[in-house]
């Protein structure tokens, strides 16, 4: 595409977005005749329907995590007046849960929804775009990604795999997980086979445990049949949906390993570049909306789900002992620092994340955290 074509395409997109905004604000009637004519021409050229497939790492119709791709597709269909028509496939329907990244990279589907820590094998720094043990919470991740340089680094990394990434969900601080026995000391982690993905899994391994990576849909059976001794999944709302309480009794907090994981949507780069700019803008806006929507839903529903688990199902809620947390924290520091050794881009991602974390921790210690402490001490 030459410069003139690019300019024309850009102008075309700006016109389409301006028209949409004008209609929303009820100002369309005031548009001069000349602009209306231009908009009509743009409208005629914009009738192409893009039929896409979105494949996900979640079981089809799973509440919470699985609702995000469904709602994303639905909103895009409405916003685009049917021009962007995306069919959502659950894990295993088109490809397996952990094959989503490669399949979208290769163009088997145009879009995927998952979590970046599943792709650590591609580059260990990918996990930092999902979550880092003892790292940032949801609010801080959004700040880093959108205004701290994080998204640009994520685009650079995924660009190497022919993908364009977007933040598209966050669970908030997760639970530490489900165990069949009490965890009273670090000795209780020795040889423990636990489903735990991402950097957290590597940390568990340094602490003597045996991490297992399984997609969500395989967790329950693995725990119930004893293939694994313990598992983490998300938090009360999503864990209740999997009936994990029927396979383990002790429910531990806090989720040291996933303090605010970002879920992701990613688009095949060729498919992205073939879209007109207004549809690209809709994907940007709709993923932002879904990013917020998931966090709001978990925030609203986790409380009642935890009450149900404890009061109706007799789940035993436990806090991880301080010395276990201290040991995991020490291992985390080591494991996270090793990410920087992978390659120069991983080093830049690591340095950007850690610098932002240091800054945001300093301010949040006198704002968010100070307020939370104050609120608790008021009881
Ligand atoms: Ca998890």
pLDDT at 22: 43
DSSP letter string, 188-250: GGTT-EEE--HHHHHHHHHTT-EEE---GGGHHHHHHTTS-SEE--S-HHHHHHTTGGGT--E
Print the domain residue range for 118: 48-170+261-297
pLDDT bucket at 139, cuts 50 / 70 / 90: very high
Is residue 55 included in any domain, yes or no?
A: yes
pLDDT bucket at 379, cuts 50 / 70 / 90: low
Beta bridge partners of 286: none
Is residue 340 included in any domain, yes or no?
A: no
pLDDT at 205 over 90: yes
CATH of residue 127's domain is: 3.40.190.170
Going from the Cα of 200 to the center of ligand 1, the distance in angstroms, rounded, reads 9
The three-point CA angle 375-299-118 to 5° equals 120
Going from the Cα of 22 to the center of ligand 1, the distance in angstroms, rounded, reads 42
3-state helix, strand, coil in the chain (%, to 5): 55, 15, 30
Rounded to an integer, what distance in angstroms lies between the CA atom of residue 237 and that of residue 254? 15
pLDDT tens-digit readout, 36-88: 444 444 454 578 999 999 999 999 989 999 999 999 999 999 999 999 999 99
Other residues' Cβ atoms within 10 Å of the Cβ of residue 111: 28
Going from the Cα of 195 to the center of ligand 1, the distance in angstroms, rounded, reads 9
Going from the Cα of 232 to the center of ligand 1, the distance in angstroms, rounded, reads 6
Going from the Cα of 258 to the center of ligand 1, the distance in angstroms, rounded, reads 6
Is residue 59 included in any domain, yes or no?
A: yes
Is residue 274 included in any domain, yes or no?
A: yes
Q: What is the pTM of this model?
A: 0.87
Is residue 322 included in any domain, yes or no?
A: no
Is residue 268 included in any domain, yes or no?
A: yes
Is residue 156 included in any domain, yes or no?
A: yes
Quote the number of domains for the chain: 1
Is residue 349 included in any domain, yes or no?
A: no
Residues with Cβ–ion distance below 5 A, ligand 1: 174, 232, 258
């Amino acid at each position: 595409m030459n410069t003139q074509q690019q300019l024309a395409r850009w102008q075309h997109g700006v016109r389409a977005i301006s028209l949409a905004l004008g209609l929303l604000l009820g100002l369309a009637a005031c548009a001069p005749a000349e602009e209306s004519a231009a908009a009509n021409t743009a409208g005629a050229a914009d009738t192409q329907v893009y039929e896409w497939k979105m494949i996900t790492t979640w079981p089809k119709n799973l509440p919470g995590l699985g609702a995000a791709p469904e709602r994303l597709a639905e909103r895009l269909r409405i916003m685009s007046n049917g021009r962007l028509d995306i069919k959502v496939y659950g894990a295993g329907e088109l490809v397996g849960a952990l094959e989503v990244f490669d399949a979208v990279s290769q163009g088997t589907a145009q879009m995927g929804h998952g979590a970046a820590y599943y792709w650590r094998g591609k580059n260990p720094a990918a996990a930092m775009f999902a979550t880092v043990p003892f790292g940032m919470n949801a609010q801080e991740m959004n700040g880093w990604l959108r205004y701290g340089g994080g998204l640009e680094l994520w685009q650079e990394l995924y660009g190497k795999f022919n993908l364009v990434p977007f933040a598209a969900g966050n669970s908030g601080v997760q639970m530490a997980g489900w165990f069949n026995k009490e965890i009273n000391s670090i000795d209780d982690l020795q040889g423990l086979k636990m489903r735990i993905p991402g950097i957290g899994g590597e940390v568990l391994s340094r602490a003597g445990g045996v991490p297992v990576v399984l997609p969500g849909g395989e967790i329950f059976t693995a725990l119930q049949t004893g293939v694994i001794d313990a598992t983490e999944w998300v938090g009360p709302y999503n864990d209740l949906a999997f009936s994990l309480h029927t396979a383990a009794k002790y429910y531990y907090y806090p989720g040291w390993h996933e303090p605010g994981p970002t879920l992701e949507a990613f688009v095949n780069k060729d498919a992205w570049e073939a879209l007109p700019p207004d549809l690209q803008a809709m994907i940007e806006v709709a993923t932002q909306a879904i990013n917020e929507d998931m966090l709001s839903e978990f925030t609203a529903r986790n409380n009642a789900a935890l009450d149900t688990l404890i009061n109706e199902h007799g789940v035993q809620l436990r806090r991880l002992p301080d010395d276990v947390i201290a040991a995991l924290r020490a291992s985390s520091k080591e494991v996270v620092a090793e990410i920087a050794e992978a390659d120069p881009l991983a080093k830049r991602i690591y340095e950007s994340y850690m610098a932002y974390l240091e800054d945001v921790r300093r301010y949040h210690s006198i704002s968010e955290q100070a307020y939370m402490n104050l609120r608790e001490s008021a009881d």
